[in-house]
Structure 1
Amino acid sequence: MARTAMVVVDMLNPYEHADAEQLERAVEPVVPPLAELIGRARERDDVDLIYVNDNHGDFTATRDDLVRRALDGRRPDLVEPLVPPEDCSFLPKVRHSAFFGTPLEYLLGQRGTDTVLLTGQVTEQCILYSALDAYIRHYSIMVPHDCVAAIHHDLGLAALRMMERNMSAQVTQARGCLT
């Protein structure tokens, strides 16, 4: 049973929204360390790799639909290295938290998870709210700051500080995770 769940949040993004250019700039440096961390997670039996991605209001969209839309979007170079492997869990979401309206809590319980490793975008929104939901469910939280991207740099830093101070999150670097 996996004790750690690495949750990759909202990285299947077509980057076709109002603040996309700002987000793209923040995502660019995140892709290489995140891809490397995903690779390390896949090599370990005690880590469960779970992708949770916004369905953008399309409740008929499948995993393949969301991958294709992201790859056909403005920045396939930010998506391709992070496409979810077929053998990992994939959960569509509709709001900010990876827990809201998804079976994530049930999945983590079934797999004996005690630590949630949050990665992806957007730090001051989906990552922050997912961390809060993990915290109130008594999970330990890890957030590699080089594997999350913020739209607003100052708010991203504030969100990381809130997670660390208010939710006892371990904010670290990717290289310090899963070693």
Structure 2
Amino acid sequence: MSAGKLVFTLQKLYKDSWVAVLGDGIEKAIITASSIPSPPLEPLLWAVRLLLLGASDAKCSWWNEPGEYRWLFVRQREQVLIHIVWFRDIADWSDEKGKTVLRMECDLLSFAKRLFHQLGQLQYRDGDLTIPLDEHQKLQKAIQAFEYANRGMQASDAS
């Protein structure tokens, strides 16, 4: 699976409802979420930040009554495999029991920067503070740390 053109947008539909469009130029999915029982964007931010900081995998859930989307991330160096699965109901099912909605690979840094940008747009355009400002800043710092570490690795690979 090769990394294609990244498409990733976030939009607030109304007070407690979100939609993400995610794709790689070939495959695309529209993922919706409710803020009940908990807001979906912060767990997504945490998962991506963990990957930037070196975790090999991470996941988060988006609830959409009566079911759940589960975002599964596997980091492979500078790439990330994103696998989103759907469950008809919110239960403690294993990831393998979900129906695949999207499976794609993309550049981790590009995805993280796009998430950062989309969250900033929500705050600017909609005045939405679903993501606390300090969490948004922590994501930015993780992006910068990832860029710095990768520059160091590229320099040592070249020598």
Tell me whether the two structures share a fold, i.e. TM-score over 0.5: no
The structure carrying a bigger strand percent of its residues is 2
Normalised TM-score (structure 1): 0.30
Greater relative contact order structure (CA < 8 Å, 6+ sep) = 1
Normalised TM-score (structure 2): 0.32
The structure carrying a bigger helix percent of its residues is 1
